[in-house]
Structure 1
Amino acid sequence: TSGSMPELHAVAPSLAGVGSRLHTNWLAHWIATPPALRAGARMPALARSSGAGQDSQRRTRQAADLAAYLATLSDPPEDQRATDTPTFGSPAASALGKGLFSTIGCSACHTPLGSDTDAEATNPNPSTPLKPPTIGLSSLRSKWKPRALRDFLLRPQRHHPSTRMPDFGLSNEEADQLASYLLAASQPDRLQRLVPGDPLRGRQLVATLGCLNCHRLDLPNQFETKRLAELEGLDWDLWGCVASGDGLGEAPRFTFTPAQRVALLAFGSTDLSSLMQTVPAEFATRQLSERRCTACHGRDGRLANDQPAVAPRRVPDSRGGERLMALPTPPPLTYTGEQLRLRWLEEFLAGRVSSRVRPWLTVRMPRFPQTAVRLAAGLAADHGMAATENPSPLTAGDIDPELRRLGEQLLGPNGGFSCSKCHSVGARKAQMEVGFGVIDLVQSKRRLRDAFYLRWMMNPTRVLPGTRMPAYTDEAGNSPLVKILDGDGVRQFEAIWKSIDARQAVAGSTR
């Protein structure tokens, strides 16, 4: 319902056409005991999971029946047409895919290929947040049909809008290469072959076991259980999915950690009304953990958990030769909510900003179209910023020609701050080559809130210790260029911002 925690609206993967995507034997093993294939799996196991006697036999038989039915669910023929390149699955494509895997950021969420198991969530340092389990890739060959894996990498949300797997904006060629590598490097299918199931029994089980409470499929749902509101006041330790021992009964078996179970029992002892509270800043914090954003980005003084080592690379120089360019790591998220314009941040998170802000980074920023608006609002709220943006004095109104002229002078090397030596300004490229990435100032104007821009300009190292950006004013806000606007740093920086407005207007979009 509206006004409730956004996570309550998440959906499980659609079962429509699943037989065209996943291997039947893998489905049977997954349905029977998900934790055996993925640490921290959220999918519950079927009924009793003691592994003894008739319970184990029934679970295996039901899983085989369910998998047999799901295997009959195929995508329409037009969705199964091969669109891969001629090199799909070739050693050359696999080699290129290995390079992609190591550079675009896959290791932030996935354990390296060759690992036998997924990485459990551990927290050896109490001062750092607990990371969710990473997802192993060793059994990809057992799970995915080859072209279906390629299609999943291209459009992860197609069959699962709430997936944690983000969209990296891969091209067809990149998806072919990455899928080729993943399939070639993963382990051969070693899962025990289960006795084939009965698809007719499986169809009935899908309708009666509760599968359709989470998964989408054009089939009547015949499963009934108590509504959450009916559980208020009950002792969850004695009944239902969180119970232990005989209290579980026929409830699904979730692999809750001890800490998760304690948290659920504590929640069950309340009136459950907290589910109807939506706090944007808290949602953003949960999403940063869920999406493992801090694997690549630092935040609040902490370094990224799995920040990839980015070695210098050779780039062309202006004389036709090459030079080494040191590539910095992704930016910290400490000030994101107060730093970036809300609408721009929404567009950026959704993957609708076409030009890359930091094209020198090999790590690729993924897209989160399903949560972009809420996540942007939550990051802003975390810094006390409103969900709406009003024009500021630096943005509103016409551009004064004299102020524009002074801003242009300040950008340049003749009596100015020489900003244009390192920074490009739209179509006007930087005058010198530097050994590190520098953001185009037109991009900065589109992205940055005016107040943050001024705070940054007055003292860059206060915002980002260790930055190469120098300070141009003293503690009183006075600049050494006393002949321009009386040496008032704030007014000079405002003039620069206004002059970039003019260039931005000429360049077109102000998104």
Structure 2
Amino acid sequence: AAEGAIPPGAAGIRDRLLFAGGAAGGADLDDFGFEGALEASRTEADFAPGAALAAREYEERAEKLRTPELLAEQARIEALVKEAEDARFEAEQEQRTLQALVDEHRFSMDHAKALGHVHEAEEATRKWKETFQREAEAHARMDAHAARKQALAADLKALLGPVAAREARAGRLLEIAGVAGARRKIDSWIAKGLRDAPLLDFVAPVTKIAQTVHPDLTVDYNFAQVQRVDRCMTCHTGIDKVKVDPETGEVTPLFTAENTPEKVFRTHPRPELFVSSVSKHSVGQVGCTVCHDGQGWGLSFNDAYHTPDTPEKEAEWKEKHHWHRGESWTFPMLPLNHVEASCAKCHRDPAATRPADSFAKEIPMAPKWNRGQRLVEEKGCFGCHKLDGYAVPGLDKWLGEIPHADEKAAALATAARKTGPHLGRIASKWKSEGDAWKWIWNPQALRPTTSMPRFFGQPNNSGSDPLTGVDYDLRTRTEVWGITAYLWDASEPWERPTPRIEGNAENGKALFGSAESGVGCLACHSVKDFPRPEGGPGNGFGPDLSTVGSKVGRDWLFHWLRNPSDYWHGTRMPSLRLTVAEAADLAAYLETLKDEAWEKDQPPPPVEGMVRDLAIEAARLLPEAGGDPSAFVERLSPRDRLKVVGKRAITKYSCFGCHEIRGFEKADRIGTQLGGNEGWGSKDVDRLDFGLMKDPAAVATYAEKWGARLLPHRKPEWANLKLLNPRVFDAGVTKQPHEKLLMPNFHFTEDEADAVVTYLMSLQVGEVAPKRRPIRGPEDVAAERMRWVARQYNCYGCHTMAQERVVLPDQTRETRPRGGDIRPWILDEDGYENRDAWPPTLGGESSLVPAARDRVAEERGIRLAELAKPPAERSKHERVRHPHPRDVAEVGEGFKVQASWLFRFLRDPGEMGLRYWLKVRMPTFPYSEAELNALVHGFAAADRVPFPFEFGEAKAAPLSDGEKEEAKAFFQSLECAKCHPTKGGVQEGPPPSAFAPDLNLTFDRLRPDWVRLWLRNPGAVQKGTKMPAFWAWDPEKGALLSPTPEDAPRRFYGDDAEKQMEALVRYVFDLGRPKAPAGGGTK
């Protein structure tokens, strides 16, 4: 541009960024001077054009430095660098070869010495010394060439340094100039202030409001739903600016912390998902406040209702922006650490009455919300609190199968189960009432990892209160004795179905966790004898059994293991179809797992005076007391008094929220409603009792005993402290026993509490318009119900439900140290462990495994993930034509197996077994018919395959007699029978774990399209499989190659890979095809 077109201050800024002393034509600034001039100039109005001019000048100077002499010298040095690298590589190859010989001669030398072979030892020693010297010389040459290469590289860097420095400065100035140009839009001075003055701003205002309007994303104004207006972009001018890689399509922020110190001008950190025009949640489509909350039309820092997420940030905002907590807006911004709570507005169905009918149980890209929701479900919060999606918790699942049951009763079939076991037969399970008392008093004393929270021994119900005179230790111990007495006397007897036999504990230990002979217990349970590797997958679905022998006896264990549903028909514990001997051995082993210190500790006996006092308190609420509780209690026996105390305590502490207890079948929740029309996320903060937690002096007094913490007047901080120490708000507050806080201590970690708070903040009143939610068809509903049932029965404890994108090494870790992993070892033909992570194909190199979804594995182990989508677009009535599997994603069980076979297998896996020769086995789960149908339908729906009827080719076409002869010869040439046995037994030689499924089951079990896909490249369908890829992919020909060797005596199907695979598919289906009955017809 001409000098006259340059803004007034731009030329001066250009000179300051270029020349020493500001004199045009002077020397370049040094680095220190350049940074100083840059920092001093960035606040000036004309910085952007001045920086752009300086950048152009630096580019021109860099180009002038690229003289012919410099380019020639650059080429000379680069040639020398290549020469040095080639010499270093040759020396390295020689050194590695000699190193191998050194190791070989050293082994021979040591071996000969050990055997006393003097002559051989001397010869080996001579060779070792000679080779060692040669290896050292080769290593020295390699180091010399590497040093020469490094020196030449330094010379090249010095030669090009001035050019690179000027180009770097030009690039930085252009980047910062772009940010400054955006910032100038909201800068102001006197002239701009005049144009923006009232009554004049209609002419040509400088500052303009940027806003988006969303009529269907409304804001709740109590009696009206008002359209959402967001003006956040007025200040956050760079929030949607992105860079898109033209080759990969990767979307990244344009303005980041590296190039934009002012946070307000930065791009959203996840522009590929939010705000940018290329994301699914663009600013034009959803705006800002539907996710962040706050007052969208506010145009100042405080009017927008920003919320700090740390005390440090709050202090910074108060200093820089004069921030204060607003009182006039119901929806302040969510703290950034809880912003995932807003995802549930669209990704969950608030009208769902059961979890299986909600939207996705896990919201994509919301790991904290997912963890919080899972913790709420695992801990059973819905037992005391009303929550969305947990409408009728805990009623018996079998009610849904009663033919004449009404619709509401049928819906209970997949209602949320109560998290604790049924207590209707507790006297048959526990060894004694005293042991049950100790467990109720402090469950963590026997099992630190138990999910059962602790009610007693908490800060607000321990010790004595000098003001009220209440001995809380004595009072709560008596309540526990009452609970125990009530449960014991309400317990019905359990008639043992079969007599127990003595077992062998060592055999039981092997059955429990041995890699060779285990039956699969470690998929759900853990014990101290089989620790998991540090950082390895967990198995916390079932309880830790490291001390189970102190809790229950061998007789109960034996009959429980034989048939869990006989003791409790609502259990999720499956039957492992154990023999009498196996059950006896397991029971004998589990009985040895004890905590002797816990067993020696005896509970204090109940005190009659306290029993009487508590019974009188409880009797005041009993109609049968007739208005005279004292007289009523006097007429009772000591045992009945305890039971009155226990019944009141069970009601008080809501034991029935987690357990089925006789006499409490109709009891309702006692906790605060958290969902529905009283959603906790919409609750006004002024309705929360902060106790003394806003008083610094009180917090200091109660910090040690109570875990007190100074709180701001905000919901997230209140909820976090409540979860970490539920009784903390009673600190320093005088209350009567019945006024005390009752929520038990779940012993949440800080991270767990933070995740649960995120979930609680998502429980908001109001709904997003249905058209704004993810589109969900019948197949999606069926797949979600399937995942719900799979989670209830811990299917992911043994099965990978979908592949995940992970970085894998060339070799696996040895499996032996994992001691107890139920999955069999990966063994080769000779019975040794195969540690190759990616075995090569028969005809070429290994191929990478595409992933169904990107995900970072969690500490819980293999997590039930969304099943993979079908590998190719297809209509309902067309057969799939799959490309080479290196370009397709994983397919699920619905695409793999026939629905009719899957139903029969899930109902009775013992009869329909796949690897019937293995000790580890698929258990028989106590599925209801509704759950079985949900699983089978859901697998089919996830892969978009027809259900319940197969359309098109459900079975591969049979072979004629002539076709069968060639197909059989081809089958034998591939030696498939070496791994795939026939029904009735396995071949001798390799261990049982080395065998693959019986191919005779193919006809009834598999779908032809899946077999075709599998044969093309098994590793692309299931990562880690031992099945080789017989047909190697030739990228030059763009086709698969025949697996038949060139020197084979017989060729098959003209080496046409497609014909070979089709013949093999039809042959394996013929192996199990029923024979036609005599006289014609079909079976």
TM-score range, shorter chain: 0.7 to 0.9
Letter in 1 for 2:998: D
How do residues 157-306 of structure 1 correspond to structure 2 at under 5 angstroms? 157-158=565-566, 163=571, 165-188=573-596, 190=599, 192-196=601-605, 198-220=642-664, 221=666, 224-225=669-670, 226-227=672-673, 228-229=675-676, 231-232=678-679, 233-234=682-683, 238=718, 242=723, 245-246=728-729, 249-271=741-763, 280=783, 284=787, 291=794, 293=796, 300=804
Letter in 2 for 1:253: N
CA distance in 1, matches of 2:784, 2:669: 35
Contact 1:410 1:416 (C-alpha < 8 Å) held by counterparts: no
**Among 1028, 1053, 1056, the residue aligned to 1:469:** 1028
1:410 aligns with 2:983: no
Contact 1:281 1:378 (C-alpha < 8 Å) held by counterparts: yes
**Among 1013, 1020, 1023, the residue aligned to 1:455:** 1013
How do residues 110-149 of structure 1 correspond to structure 2 at under 5 angstroms? 110-113=525-528, 132=540, 135-149=543-557
**Among 408, 427, 448, the residue aligned to 1:39:** 448
CA 1:68–1:327: 2 relative to 1, 3 Å: farther
CA distance in 2, matches of 1:486, 1:430: 33
Secondary structure of residue in 1 paired with 2:661: coil
CA distance in 2, matches of 1:81, 1:205: 34
For residue 181 of structure 1, report the CA deviation from its aligned partner: 1.6
Name the stretch that deviates more: 162-171 or 277-286: 277-286
Instruction: Report sequence identity in percent.
Output: 20
Equivalent residue for 1:317?
A: none
Contact 1:68 1:199 (C-alpha < 8 Å) held by counterparts: yes
For residue 411 of structure 1, report the CA deviation from its aligned partner: 3.0
Secondary structure of residue in 2 paired with 1:506: coil
CA 1:433–1:130: 2 relative to 1, 3 Å: closer
For residue 336 of structure 1, report the CA deviation from its aligned partner: 4.8
Equivalent residue for 1:94?
A: 505
CA distance in 2, matches of 1:154, 1:347: 22
Equivalent residue for 2:475?
A: 58
Equivalent residue for 1:320?
A: none
Equivalent residue for 2:920?
A: 363
Letter in 2 for 1:256: F
For residue 375 of structure 1, report the CA deviation from its aligned partner: 5.2
CA distance in 1, matches of 2:899, 2:789: 19
Contact 2:654 2:669 (C-alpha < 8 Å) held by counterparts: yes
Letter in 2 for 1:412: A
CA 1:161–1:500: 2 relative to 1, 3 Å: same
Contact 2:453 2:746 (C-alpha < 8 Å) held by counterparts: yes
Equivalent residue for 1:443?
A: 1001
CA distance in 1, matches of 2:591, 2:496: 19
Equivalent residue for 1:504?
A: 1072
For residue 441 of structure 1, report the CA deviation from its aligned partner: 0.8
Equivalent residue for 2:210?
A: none
Q: Flag the structure with higher helix content.
A: 2
Secondary structure of residue in 2 paired with 1:177: helix
Q: How many residues align?
A: 479
CA 1:379–1:272: 2 relative to 1, 3 Å: farther
Equivalent residue for 1:84?
A: 500
CA distance in 2, matches of 1:160, 1:393: 44
CA distance in 2, matches of 1:431, 1:95: 29
- What are structure 2's unaligned runs of at least 5 residues? 1-350, 357-376, 378-389, 391-415, 464-470, 607-641, 686-714, 731-739, 768-772, 836-861, 865-889, 1045-1049, 1077-1083
For residue 249 of structure 1, report the CA deviation from its aligned partner: 1.4
CA distance in 1, matches of 2:549, 2:577: 23
Secondary structure of residue in 2 paired with 1:497: helix
Equivalent residue for 1:49?
A: 458
For residue 148 of structure 1, report the CA deviation from its aligned partner: 1.5
For residue 66 of structure 1, report the CA deviation from its aligned partner: 0.9
TM-score using structure 2 length: 0.38
1:10 aligns with 2:393: no
Letter in 1 for 2:354: S
Equivalent residue for 1:105?
A: 520
For residue 30 of structure 1, report the CA deviation from its aligned partner: 2.2
CA distance in 2, matches of 1:272, 1:22: 43
Name the stretch that deviates more: 237-246 or 250-259: 237-246
Equivalent residue for 2:980?
A: 423
Name the stretch that deviates more: 301-310 or 160-169: 301-310
TM-score using structure 1 length: 0.75
CA 1:449–1:326: 2 relative to 1, 3 Å: farther
CA distance in 1, matches of 2:585, 2:947: 42
Letter in 2 for 1:261: A
